[in-house]
């Protein structure tokens, strides 16, 4: 008996099967012969002969007989007989052997019932295959089947059944049960095939639609390109951005991002709610200048000429700018530190940046940073946010239209830190020459090279600038202008501009120098010239009214008594030197954002219990200076201890409504208290500035040029300054130094002696 293991094939009784010779020969010695007995063993899973084990077979098999051998087709026909129970199975030396017994069949369906079930299932199959083109071929096979067994055998490999489910059909003893299982399997096959066919059809239709859509889009793109070439004025947005991206000179990272956004823009279409956001992004990045600008030859002589034309004075500042430009000329690229111009308002910090741009032949961009507290204002918003915008730096680059503008960052000291970020930290990357070649704005999300940008920062003070940011910049101080310098600036720059804005010609208005000086002294109180410009504008407007009305003769000459009418204001009040009428009052010097000012330290003893009262809105630093001054005076004059114990000490710094603070009033407070204790009056034409220590030493202070200019303006004749500040005198205009006698001192005792409070030889060593 030939034993044939089968897997996947549904072997049914009374059915003819066809096998290739090589399949049969694997399990027998020699060629098969007609009439040979065969036993089909049903495998649980397909395996190679050498790997088969008895437990890999189901316990029910089917017998068969070789009915025909076709030598031409090398095929064997086997007609199955009945089912058997496999009792014993052996596998020895590559040969299978088995012992089996017949399995009972329960004939619970007559021939007519069998035929009825078969016709029902056959009809369902014929209806199913009729809807397909290949149904004609399948119909011929279906019509050849005469029994349910032949149908099950023919559909063995199409039925969606496991090996166990196929075995249950073979193992069913009742004919009715076997037919029911076959019927259910065929109907399941039909329904699954229908669903698969519908899904395949839908997928095919979807693919065809996509292919058709892509083909149409390509045709439209080709036609649109031809139309754009013929009518450039009516280019579509997509085509416009394609051309701008191609010609922009972007780096590879930026190009990929732009093309990605452009493809999304194509897919979304003009009616999409994201179309506007995508359009704005592409419009921004393609408007930027990505190409390196060619090097422009720097003419230092021409630069000096331009700086002198635009600004009077500022000699040291101009020299530092020339040094920076000389280094750039030698290296033929952006070089040097980030310049930080620090000084009072109206001293020319911003406008000199414009002059630098003109001298270099570059575009000029000014960005005001005052009041910014959101980091996104510097680095931009991410595009996922509604209303996202680029940062101010990249917006400035776009406005300039070049990659190497002169960019003035105004009011760096006015940046504020809030819960939503620190904008000063965002400036670090932009201003650091080692990092800004790959500056990444959050809105753009691609790197941009800022290394060719000449950054210039301005500030009124460095106190509020964070140290990491300040370290990246080189501080250049702008002192206030002297009255002579203001007069020259007014005559050369401010007055001609004011007349031009008012529509006045040179021969129509005359303002004598004494009137200009009167305006500077009595109607402005500033270190810069911004207020002076406003006053001259007011004079020119008033003159324009007279000219239009035809009142008076030409040229219109401005008189001193008319100034209060022009300005609708009385002359400003300036602190005047006091009359030396009592001790305890000393003239001090202070620095403000508007320039230097003089102030008076007033002291007085009143009946009391030794308390100290300090008034005048003094800050913590000045209050500490007052305490140090009291301790020093008590130590210098121990014989006056009862005076402090039996009286209250009142220290006042006018004006009381103006907040005052700073580490430079220590010597003034000490001298005022010493004057009060000794009863010796200090000449009010003596002024002083400097902080003191408990050892009686004078420590250096800042803002010396502004303080000395304030002293000269007030009529002070002698000024005491810390000895370590002598090096700062080079920044003081010669005009001011000529008006004052400047006395450097190192100890408090020197000041007390030189002011006449103590006599030489009677001083107390400290």
Q: How confident is the model at residue 457 (pLDDT cuts 50, 70, 90)?
A: very high
Residue 99 predicted with pLDDT over 60: yes
Q: 688 CB contacts (<8 Å, ≥6 apart)?
A: 586, 587, 588, 589, 667, 668, 671, 719, 720, 721, 751
Beta-sheet pairing, 454-459 with 473-477: unpaired
- Report the C-alpha gap between 342 and 462 in whole angstroms: 7
Angle at 272 between CA 269 and CA 277, to 5 degrees: 100
What is the arithmetic mean of pLDDT over 649-663?
Answer: 76
User: In percent, how much of the chain has pLDDT > 90?
Assistant: 20
pLDDT, one tens digit per residue, over 598-626 is: 888 999 998 888 888 888 888 888 889 88
pLDDT in the model for residue 764: 47
pLDDT in the model for residue 518: 87
pLDDT, one tens digit per residue, over 45-81 is: 888 777 788 888 889 999 999 998 887 878 889 999 9
pLDDT, one tens digit per residue, over 144-183 is: 889 999 999 988 888 888 888 889 999 999 999 999 999 9
pLDDT in the model for residue 763: 47
Token couple for 504: 């006045």
> Cα–Cα distances in Å, from 176 out to 15, 163, 180, 713?
18, 21, 6, 125
- Report the C-alpha gap between 655 and 233 in whole angstroms: 68
**What radius of gyration, in Å, describes the C-alpha atoms of the chain?**
52
Range list of H helices, 231-387: 237-247, 252-268, 275-287, 300-310, 315-331, 349-360, 376-379
Catalytic residues: 664, 707
pLDDT, one tens digit per residue, over 511-561 is: 888 888 888 878 887 778 888 899 899 889 988 888 888 766 788 888 888
Residue 387 predicted with pLDDT over 90: no
DSSP letter at 375 equals: T
Q: 495: part of which helix (H) or strand (E)?
A: helix 495-502
What is the arithmetic mean of pLDDT over 21-43?
Answer: 78
What is the arithmetic mean of pLDDT over 439-447?
Answer: 90
Specify whether the CB–CB gap between 160 and 184 falls below 8 A: no
pLDDT in the model for residue 766: 36
pLDDT, one tens digit per residue, over 118-131 is: 999 989 888 888 87
Residue 761 predicted with pLDDT over 70: no
pLDDT in the model for residue 292: 83
Question: Where do the domains of the chain lie?
Answer: 2-102, 111-197, 236-287, 300-391+402-477, 483-567, 585-754
Residue from 687, 692, 700, 702 nearest 749 by CA: 692
Q: 414 CB contacts (<8 Å, ≥6 apart)?
A: 369, 370, 371, 372, 459, 464
44-68: burial string, b at 16+ Cβ within 10 Å, e else = eeeeeeeebeeebbbebbbbbebee
pLDDT, one tens digit per residue, over 298-353 is: 888 888 899 888 888 888 888 888 888 888 888 776 666 788 999 888 888 889 98
Is residue 588 helix, strand or coil?
Answer: strand
Residue from 429, 428, 393, 426 nearest 408 by CA: 393
Residue 234 predicted with pLDDT over 60: no
Q: How confident is the model at residue 579 (pLDDT cuts 50, 70, 90)?
A: low
691 compared with 92, residue with greater pLDDT? 691
CATH number of 300-391+402-477: 3.40.50.300
Q: How far from the centroid of its chain's Cα atoms is residue 156's Cα?
A: 66
- The CATH number of domain 483-567, selected from 3.40.980.10, 3.40.50.300, 1.10.274.10, 1.10.8.60: 1.10.8.60
Q: 499: part of which helix (H) or strand (E)?
A: helix 495-502
User: In percent, how much of the chain has pLDDT > 70?
Assistant: 93
pLDDT in the model for residue 162: 87
pLDDT in the model for residue 765: 43
Could you check whether the bond before residue 565 is cis, i.e. omega within 30 degrees of 0?
no
pLDDT in the model for residue 312: 87
Token couple for 553: 């003769």
- Report the C-alpha gap between 709 and 681 in whole angstroms: 25
- Report the C-alpha gap between 500 and 457 in whole angstroms: 30
Q: How confident is the model at residue 207 (pLDDT cuts 50, 70, 90)?
A: confident
- The CATH number of domain 585-754, selected from 3.40.50.980, 2.40.50.100, 3.40.50.1860, 3.30.230.10: 3.30.230.10
What is the arithmetic mean of pLDDT over 182-189?
Answer: 89
Angle at 528 between CA 526 and CA 532, to 5 degrees: 75
Question: For the chain, what is the mean pLDDT?
Answer: 85
pLDDT in the model for residue 572: 67
Residue 479 predicted with pLDDT over 60: yes
pLDDT in the model for residue 49: 72
The correct answer on CATH 2.60.40.10 for the domain covering 2-102 is: no
Q: How confident is the model at residue 429 (pLDDT cuts 50, 70, 90)?
A: confident
Q: 635: part of which helix (H) or strand (E)?
A: helix 620-636
The whole model's pTM is what? 0.61
């Amino acid at each position: 008996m030939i034993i044939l293991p089968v897997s996947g094939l549904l072997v049914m009784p009374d059915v003819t099967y066809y096998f290739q010779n090589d399949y049969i020969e694997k399990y027998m010695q020699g060629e098969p012969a007609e009439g040979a007995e065969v036993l089909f063993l049903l495998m649980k899973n397909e395996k190679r002969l050498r790997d088969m084990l008895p437990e890999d077979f189901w316990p029910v098999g089917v017998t068969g007989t070789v009915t025909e051998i076709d030598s031409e087709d090398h095929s064997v026909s086997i007609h199955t007989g009945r089912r058997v129970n496999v009792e014993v199975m052996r596998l020895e030396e590559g040969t299978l052997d088995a012992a089996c017994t017949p399995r009972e069949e329960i004939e619970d369906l007559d021939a007519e019932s069998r035929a009825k079930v078969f016709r029902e299932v056959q009809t369902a199959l014929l209806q199913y295959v009729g809807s397909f083109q290949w149904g004609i071929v399948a119909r011929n096979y279906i019509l050849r089947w005469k029994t349910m067994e032949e149908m099950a055998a023919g559909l063995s490999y199409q039925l969606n059944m496991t090996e166990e489910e196929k075995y249950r059909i073979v193992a069913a003893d009742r004919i009715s049960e076997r037919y029911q299982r076959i019927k259910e399997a065929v109907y399941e096959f039909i329904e699954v095939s229908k669903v698969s066919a519908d899904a395949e059809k839908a997928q095919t239709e979807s693919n065809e639609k996509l292919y058709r859509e892509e083909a149409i889009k390509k045709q439209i793109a080709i036609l649109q390109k031809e139309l754009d070439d013929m009518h450039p004025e009516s280019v579509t947005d997509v085509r416009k951005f394609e051309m701008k991206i191609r010609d922009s000179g972007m780096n590879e990272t930026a190009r990929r991002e732009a093309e990605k956004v452009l493809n999304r823009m194509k897919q979304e279409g003009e009616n999409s709610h994201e179309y506007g956001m995508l359009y704005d992004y592409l419009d921004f990045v393609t408007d930027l200048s990505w190409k390196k600008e060619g090097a422009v030859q720097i003419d230092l002589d021409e630069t000096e000429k331009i700086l002198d034309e635009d600004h009077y004075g500022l000699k040291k500042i101009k020299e530092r700018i020339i040094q920076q430009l000389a280094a750039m000329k030698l290296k033929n690229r952006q070089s040097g530190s980030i310049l930080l111009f620090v000084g009072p308002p109206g001293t020319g910090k911003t406008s000199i940046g414009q002059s630098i741009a003109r001298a270099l032949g570059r575009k000029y961009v000014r960005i005001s940073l005052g009041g910014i507290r959101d980091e996104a204002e510097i680095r931009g918003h991410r595009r996922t946010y509604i209303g996202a915008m680029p940062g101010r730096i990249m917006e400035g680059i776009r406005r300039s239209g070049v990659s190497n503008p002169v960019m003035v960052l105004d009011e760096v000291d006015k940046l504020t830190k809030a819960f939503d970020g620190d904008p000063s930290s965002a400036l670090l990357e932009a201003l650091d020459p080692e990092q800004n070649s790959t500056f990444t704005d959050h809105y753009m999300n691609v790197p941009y090279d800022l290394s060719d940008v000449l950054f210039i920062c301005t500030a009124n003070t460095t106190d509020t600038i964070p140290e990491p940011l300040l370290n990246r910049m080189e501080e250049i101080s702008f002192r206030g202008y002297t009255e002579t310098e203001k007069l020259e600036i007014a005559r050369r720059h401010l007055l001609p501009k004011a007349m031009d804005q008012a529509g006045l010609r040179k021969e129509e208005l005359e303002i004598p120098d004494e009137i200009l000086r009167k305006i500077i002294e009595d109607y402005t109180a500033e270190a810069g010239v911004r207020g002076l410009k406003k006053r001259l504008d007011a004079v020119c407007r008033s003159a324009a009214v007279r000219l239009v009305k035809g009142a008076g003769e030409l040229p219109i000459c401005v008189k001193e008594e008319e100034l209060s009418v022009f300005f609708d204001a009385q002359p400003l009040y300036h602190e005047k030197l006091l009359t030396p009428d009592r001790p305890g009052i000393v003239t001090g010097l202070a620095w403000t954002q508007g320039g230097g000012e003089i102030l008076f330290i007033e002291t007085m003893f009143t009946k009391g219990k030794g308390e100290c009262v300090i008034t005048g809105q003094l800050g913590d630093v000045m209050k500490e200076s007052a305490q140090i001054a009291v301790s020093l005076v008590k130590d210098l004059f121990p014989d006056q201890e009862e005076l402090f114990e039996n009286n209250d000490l009142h220290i006042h710094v006018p004006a009381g409504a103006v907040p005052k603070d700073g580490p430079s009033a220590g010597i003034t407070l000490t001298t005022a208290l010493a004057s009060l204790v000794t009863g010796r009056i200090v000449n009010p034409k003596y002024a002083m500035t400097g902080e003191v220590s408990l050892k009686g030493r004078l420590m250096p202070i800042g803002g010396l040029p502004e303080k000395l200019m304030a002293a000269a303006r007030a009529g002070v004749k002698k000024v005491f300054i810390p000895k370590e500040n002598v090096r700062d005198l080079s920044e003081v205009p010669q005009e001011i130094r000529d008006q004052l006698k400047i006395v450097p001192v190192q100890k408090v005792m020197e000041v007390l002696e030189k002011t006449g409070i103590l006599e030489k030889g009677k001083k107390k060593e400290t």
